[in-house]
Amino acid sequence: MEYASQNKIKQVTKLKQKRYRKEQQQVIIEGKRLLEQVIANGIIPTEIFLLENSSYEFSGSALFWLKQHQLNKLSSTQTPQNIFGVVPTIAPKIKAKRILLYLDAVSEPGNIGTIFRTAAAAGIDGIILSEDCCEIWNPKVIRASLGTVFSVPSEIHSHKWLFEQEAKIISSSLHHSNDLFSSKLPTENCIIAIGSEAFGVSEDIIAKTNETVHIPMTTKIESLNVAVAAGIIIFHYANQLGQTK
């Protein structure tokens, strides 16, 4: 195993920027737990970087040692971990469409990642992101998802795509909506639309929605975090289908 050159570090560090991730179709992931989760999902790193004199048993990737100052350059966290991997940005395509989730302009990386992790736990068929959602290859999204952005099927589509689907649209809304817990899973395919905390689901989606639902709450709080709300809604419908059994 050899030390990473300064040129190598320079090239890999560029992947911290969205435009280079898109251009190279690769991303840096950080930490042994996350790296092993990604490998378990069948995604093989092209390169693995370790703090000097560390060891890691994996034969499928090129291995490089890092000096401490190089490690700090690669890290996107305040407390850098000792291992990094460069992995291809490959998301599985959606095949089944019994229950899909449509995220409308959800921009906070931690929320996107948490929603992916929850969707994986509930067995949702896939996640559709509107074109103005946060990029799923943002390192914060990947960390919050615990690597499930590599295993949960996902695609990016406009509202027009949504309206063209042969599926019942269920939207989360605080206005003129049904109690979530009285809502039944439709017999046909369905797409659950979740909007941002600031603006909710877009009006053009609401106008074409088959059913709007809200999570009943006390008057002590106005709204829930979008990832928490999405989790409650996802499991409500997934449990009716028996996805989580």
Question: Quick one: 41 and 125 in the same domain?
Answer: no
pLDDT confidence of residue 243: 58
pLDDT digits (tens, 9 = 90+) for 205-244: 999 999 999 999 988 887 899 999 999 999 999 999 875 5
Which position has the higher pLDDT, 55 or 74? 74
Distance CA 104, CA 117 (A): 18
pLDDT confidence of residue 85: 94
Q: What is the span of the domain harbouring residue 195? A: 99-241
95 in Cβ contact with 153 (< 8 Å): yes
Question: How many structural domains compose the chain?
Answer: 2
Question: Quick one: 30 and 62 in the same domain?
Answer: yes
pLDDT digits (tens, 9 = 90+) for 149-191: 999 999 999 999 999 999 999 999 988 899 999 999 999 999 9
**Residue 93 belongs to a domain:** no
> Domain ends where: 88, 111, 140?
88
Is the confidence at residue 46, as pLDDT, over 90?
yes
> Domain ends where: 88, 121, 143?
88
The token pair at 102 is 């449509």
> Domain ends where: 88, 121, 154?
88
CATH number at residue 46: 3.30.1330.30
pLDDT digits (tens, 9 = 90+) for 102-147: 999 999 999 999 999 999 999 999 999 999 999 999 999 999 999 9
The token pair at 159 is 């509202």
Distance CA 124, CA 164 (A): 20
pTM assigned to the model: 0.92
